[in-house]
Structure 1
Amino acid sequence: MDVWKNIKLVNYINILSGFAFNSDFFTGEEGTPLIRIRDINKRNTDINFSGKFSDKYLIKKGDLLIGMDGDFEVAQWKGENALLNQRVCKIESNDKNRLNQIFLFYRIINEIKLINNIISATTVKHLSTKDIDNIQVNLPPIDEQTKIAAILSKTDKAIEQTERIIAKYQRIKTGLMQDLLTKGIDENGNIRSEETHEFKDSPVGRIPVEWNAVYMDEILYNIEAGKSPNCIDVPAGSGQWGVLKVSAVRPEGFQSEENKVLENSNFINPKYEVKDKDLLITRSNTYDLVGIVCLVKNPPPNLLLCDKTLRLIINKNKSSVDFIFYVLQMPFVRSQIEIHATGSSGSMKNISQETIRHLIVPRPEKTEQTNIYKILNKIDKYIKDEKKQLNKMRRKKTGLMQDLLTGKVRCLNLDLPD
């Protein structure tokens, strides 16, 4: 650290606060894109400005932006030329020979987080340019700044590439689910079409003539609900029993860490312990999350159902658990849930076991069900593996930022990451 020096950031940067553009010229299509706080981490916006403006407020790809309200997001603009709206500011180095612009981006992130943690507010937090002016940092020589910026940029590029791969395969999965769960697979392994196969009308839309539309009650063996005793909001440790929170069931899968430790052993009932291949559904949650499902895979021991998380026990002679897991995510099922969700609260809704039993779902023969879910399982596994890799890269980036931006690890002799 002997060659690093402590500097006041205001002497090294220029700050440009956004402009309050006249809303009379806001448009959804024509004009120049307008960057608001909600847009700074995107590549485009959904609002444009069609009036006259000063080029002073024109933002270009790569410019460093900070949201001045809320969470104080820091981002490099990823889109094309756009306008800087009020409550967003642009920061740039005033001397590229003293302060590398990309190094500035990575270095300022943690400082803005620290300010966010310090500022108190009863409603929305506000960041001022004075707060940014007062930031002091230890600054390495410019050649070391450049090397740090290159290492972190390459790591970010790898993260973005993985994110794009995940998004691509999630789109593929969505399309496959729509085709496979409404058209199915014929005896030749091809997705059916109405040009080559017979279809019929049903309560869930057009389906192959070989399929039936049935109530869930016809394929359910039972529905089980646990209990929710009073527990401290601390996850169960090794050897302890825990009660699931409703947040354990998420669209992205089962979240075993979302539980509360069960201190009173009188409430331990192994009958309601969550097991591998359990199909869980939330009976109470927000409007968007009530009735969502997850398929449990290799859960830790000693986790119990709560009263808001139901276990659907499928009659395996009539249907496959994996197949029903995918079917219950489809829009034609989701619409049935939303229609029957009750509750006066705008934030919390409920569905009854009776509603679940009367959900109408398509049911092909078991062999076809197996062929369908094997395809979807395969793409799910691919997405899961990519997400693991993504999390690994994010942890690596966090470690690199901690080491390189503090000088704990000097980088001049380090190679760029692969």
Structure 2
Amino acid sequence: MQKRSGEAVAERRTLRSRLGKVFLDTRPLRYPAYRRLWLSNIVTSVGAQVSSVAVPKQVYDLTGSSAYVGLAGLFGLVPLLVFGLWGGAIADTVDRRRLLLVTNGGLAVTAVLLWLVAAAGVPSVWLVLVLFAAQQTFFAVNMPTRGAAIARLLPLHLLPSAQALGTTVFQLGAITGPLLAGMLLPLLGLPALYLIDAIALCAALWAVLRLPPLPPNEGAPARAGLRSILDGFRYLTLHKVLLASFLMDIIAMVFGMPRALFPEMAERTFGDPPGGGVALGLLFAAIPLGAFVFGVLSGWLHRVQRHGVGVTVGVVAWGVAVIGFGMSDALWPAVLFLAVGGGADLVSMVYRSAMLQAAATDEMRGRMQGVFTVVVAGGPRLADVLHGAGGAVVGTGAAVAGGGALVVFFAILAVFCLPAFWRYRAPQESDEPAEKANAE
């Protein structure tokens, strides 16, 4: 009887081991502090996507003008660019747990204020835009602070798995947030979306409250001014591996993100009726859906030690997928190419984020995460301008395929010019957490 019981236990362990090689590596969730931070990330990312639907809808309802909706995008982008950098500098000078409490509290307060404005029917579009800008300011400081905290909560060898968990959650938010908003909007109304977001953010605030203190280490800057930000850029230029990781992301997104051409391609290439249809929704959903599926099946990522190689392969695969999308005349192959591209982008992002966490010193992690936030936010928006202009000049298919080819060319050129990036290996495995405070 005991023999059979032992065999059953051994079989279960073997099955778990095999599944762990395929599915998402959940070992980082064994660390209580990281688990709390990760759970709060779920709420924050889904809430951000809900707001990205609710605010444009409210602005359009108030004005009836798409120009004002575009202005809302500008009110969201400028704080993200400015305070992403400054927020990273702040994260290097103060207790990161305390800063997360302040910024999460700010996100919750602005969500409550947006709810009050919508519920009271206040007809001021400028008030909505100002509150949205304030919310994005808190978000811009919150994101690099969260990123900089991860390496203090986990052993370095688990960083790729942690980044896969975080990226998968982000992609899940990109899918479920808009869908949730779209379903609840006709049922509950616009004010209810803001109220749900506010309640969820209060729950996230409770999770952050239970994190251990994360004070700055010795050698951290005393204040977060312009000099501190410039020191971060100086540090970046002296560390070629970090510089190359940002350069790879810029190459992939600026030349290879074709979303500005989705509306025209949906109608003229894939047969959507004027005003939008199924093809448009599938094109926008394909990249995050592919990234999410690859994230769920990312159990193998942590076994790759050559992170520079992993980033390069991911970026080149993204470029090839974009070429395939640009050359597609039928909808389903086009969606498949975009989904594969989303998976390749997830692989690249996981390794880039892990390199950023491991290669940067703790007193610089906040500023590096701030640069990361700006690159991630700014690259696709610059791509919108380039692809929009390129599509008008040479046609949508040629602009997309040409952009993908440029991604492949410049990625290979970057690795050739910065060979240290290609040779970069992950830190050796250690069972000790970065911070003893991560204990229960």
Coarse TM-score class (shorter-chain normalised): under 0.3
Bigger-Rg structure (1/2): 1
**Higher share of residues assigned strand:** 1
Of structures 1 and 2, the one with the larger relative CO (CA 8 A, separation 6+) is: 2
**Higher share of residues assigned helix:** 2
